[in-house]
Amino acid sequence: MTKPKGSTAKSDRTRLAIESAARELFASYGFERTTVREIARVAGIDASMIIRYFGSKDALFALVAMPDLRLPDLGEVDRGKIGETLVRHFIEQWEGSEGGGGLPILLRSASSNDDAAKKLAEIFAAQVLPALARAGDPATAANRAGLVATQILGLALTRYVLKLPPVVAMSIEQLVDDVGATIQRYGTGER
Amino acid sequence: MTKPKGSTAKSDRTRLAIESAARELFASYGFERTTVREIARVAGIDASMIIRYFGSKDALFALVAMPDLRLPDLGEVDRGKIGETLVRHFIEQWEGSEGGGGLPILLRSASSNDDAAKKLAEIFAAQVLPALARAGDPATAANRAGLVATQILGLALTRYVLKLPPVVAMSIEQLVDDVGATIQRYGTGER
DNA sequence: TGCCTTTGTCAACGACTGTTGGCAAATAGT
DNA sequence: ACTATTTGCCAACAGTCGTTGACAAAGGCA
């Protein structure tokens, strides 16, 4: 084993440095184009340490690409402001520090990595779907969650991954207004 | 030079076989995970031929990843059916033969390939933006095109790249209805 | 002090990548 | 039929990838 009994070891700093570098590079370049040597360079240690600490590149990716969307309880927010609430929640998380909670990391790699795509699907099934089940007829929850996914992931893709100029240029408030109205309609099932 | 004067050469069949295999593999696995050896295997020839015919892997990709969206003239369609028209146009193109006109190819690779992302931005600026300029106030065209991009690319991503189950399960008519209403609002600027 | 586990570097492995040059077979032109 | 060009395969290159094992410094504990 590589792990001692306690967690007060001096090596925890290295461990965190590796995780931090991995998060940054995976988010910027995706899984395939991020090399363990580059992660090691940013973390300031040797590439072989990464294997010893985490077992493999895949294991390290699986560890840092576990997004927790931290969705609010939609049963407690104003029925008419579900869309606005959701969009603001996502944007503020993405705009915030440390890679926006891991979802951009997954999104970067999901297009060319089947495991990442599968994990993204699980995230939506496990977090978005149950949250939306409380915001309308549970029988149509999967349908509504799918529509929400097309718009939320499309927003994340164009603004943070592709960086399409007109989408990047828009203010948070405008996005909350325009996209929020769409999510409101998709999420609740209202016409 | 590798190209003779006329185009009646027997080698044109090989050229087309390479392009076809490249389109298929780039669309399925993206630029990074598609190897020239695999393209050659599918095309039934040697890998070195690809370099001789197209110069490099990048050049081949640039050639097959040139989507022409073939957007209809929005100035001639019913003002209230712009969203429906656009969504149906895109879906039918994607659902159709030969990789849906190249946009999925680009989308697969754009997440981890800067050139592909840049080209995708150009496509939208050169094709979607002018088409939408005729469907509302030209001053807000960029803004509206950006919003349309978030929804259209999000739909393509979730249905054809990530293959999220609830999105895949939806019928074309339902997508035209639900997503079409969003595009209608984004594209025309109406509330 | 001496010992043993941990932290780290270094060099190398086998597998893979895009790409190149040489040479056989097929084909076109005359 | 003879020749020159083109089409194709093969072997190999230089580079990079993830991963492994050996071995040197460092630190805790007796």
Chain A residues near residue B30 by CB distance under 8 angstroms: 111-112
At A12 the pLDDT is 86
Chain B nearest C-alpha distance from A112 (Å): 6
Chain B residues near residue A151 by CB distance under 8 angstroms: 150-151, 154, 182
- Chosen domain end from A64, A88, A105: A64
Cβ pair A112:B108 closer than 8 A? yes
Greater confidence, A10 or A49?
A: A49
At B126 the pLDDT is 95
At B35 the pLDDT is 98
Q: Which tens digit of pLDDT belongs to each residue from B8-52?
A: 567 889 999 999 999 999 999 999 999 999 999 999 999 999 999
Residue B30 CA, nucleotide C21 C1', distance (Å): 30
Cα–Cα distance measured from residue A188 to residue A83, given in angstroms and rounded to the nearest whole number: 9
Regarding whether B117 and B40 lie in a shared domain, the answer is no
Q: Is residue B69 part of a domain?
A: no
Q: Is residue B164 part of a domain?
A: yes
Q: Is residue A72 part of a domain?
A: no
Query: In 3D, which of A177, A44, A61, A122 has the Cα closest to residue B165?
Result: A122
DSSP-assigned states of every residue in chain B: ----SSS--TTHHHHHHHHHHHHHHHHHHHHHH--HHHHHHHHTS-HHHHHHHHSSHHHHHHHH---------TTSS-GGGHHHHHHHHHHHHHHSSGGGGGHHHHHHHHTT-HHHHHHHHHHIIIIIHHHHHTTS-GGGHHHHHHHHHHHHHHHHIIIIIS--HHHHHS-HHHHHHHHHHHHHHHHH---
Cα A159-A164-A25 angle, rounded to 5 deg: 55
Chain B nearest C-alpha distance from A109 (Å): 7
* Confidence label for A190 from pLDDT (cuts 50, 70 and 90): confident
Q: Is residue B21 part of a domain?
A: yes
Q: For every residue of chain A, which 3-state class applies, written as one string?
A: CCCCCCCCCCCHHHHHHHHHHHHHHHHHHHHHHCCHHHHHHHHCCCHHHHHHHHCCHHHHHHHHCCCCCCCCCCCCCCHHHHHHHHHHHHHHHHHCCHHHHHHHHHHHHHCCCHHHHHHHHHHHHHHHHHHHHCCCCHHHHHHHHHHHHHHHHHHHHHHHHCCCHHHHHCCHHHHHHHHHHHHHHHHHCCC
Chain B nearest C-alpha distance from A135 (Å): 17
Mean pLDDT of the A87-94 span = 95
pLDDT at A4 over 50: no
Regarding whether B169 and B90 lie in a shared domain, the answer is yes
Is A126 touching B (CB cutoff 8 A)? no
Other Cβ atoms less than 10 A from the Cβ of B173: the count is 11
Question: pLDDT tens string for chain B (191 positions)?
Answer: 444 444 456 788 999 999 999 999 999 999 999 999 999 999 999 999 999 999 999 999 999 998 889 999 998 999 999 999 999 999 999 998 766 778 989 999 999 889 999 999 999 999 999 999 999 899 999 999 999 999 999 999 999 999 999 999 999 999 999 999 999 999 999 87
Name residue A56's amino acid. S
Q: Which tens digit of pLDDT belongs to each residue from A36-61?
A: 999 999 999 999 999 999 999 999 99
Whose C1' is closest to the CA of A11: which nucleotide? C7
Greater confidence, A58 or A96?
A: A58
Other Cβ atoms less than 10 A from the Cβ of A19: the count is 17
* Confidence label for A23 from pLDDT (cuts 50, 70 and 90): very high
Tell me the count of A-B CB pairs closer than 8 A: 149
Closest chain A residue to the Cα of B151, Cα to Cα: A151
Which CATH number covers residue A32? Answer: 1.10.10.60
A11 touches strand D (CB under 7 A): no
Q: Is residue B85 part of a domain?
A: yes
**Which tokens sit at B154?**
């999000």
Cβ pair A162:B186 closer than 8 A? no
At A5 the pLDDT is 42
Query: In 3D, which of B17, B38, B15, B14 has the Cα closest to residue B26?
Result: B38
Q: Is residue A6 part of a domain?
A: no
Regarding whether A48 and A132 lie in a shared domain, the answer is no
Domain count, chain B: 2
Query: What contacts A166, CB < 8 A, 6 or more positions away?
Result: B142, B143, B145, B146, B149
Contacts with B, A 72-111, CB within 8 Å:
107-111
Chain B residues near residue A120 by CB distance under 8 angstroms: 162, 164
Is B185 touching A (CB cutoff 8 A)? yes
Regarding whether B173 and B115 lie in a shared domain, the answer is yes
Regarding whether B181 and B108 lie in a shared domain, the answer is yes
At A99 the pLDDT is 63
| Structure-token match 């033969």, residue found | B97
Q: Which domain holds residue B60?
A: 12-64
At A121 the pLDDT is 95
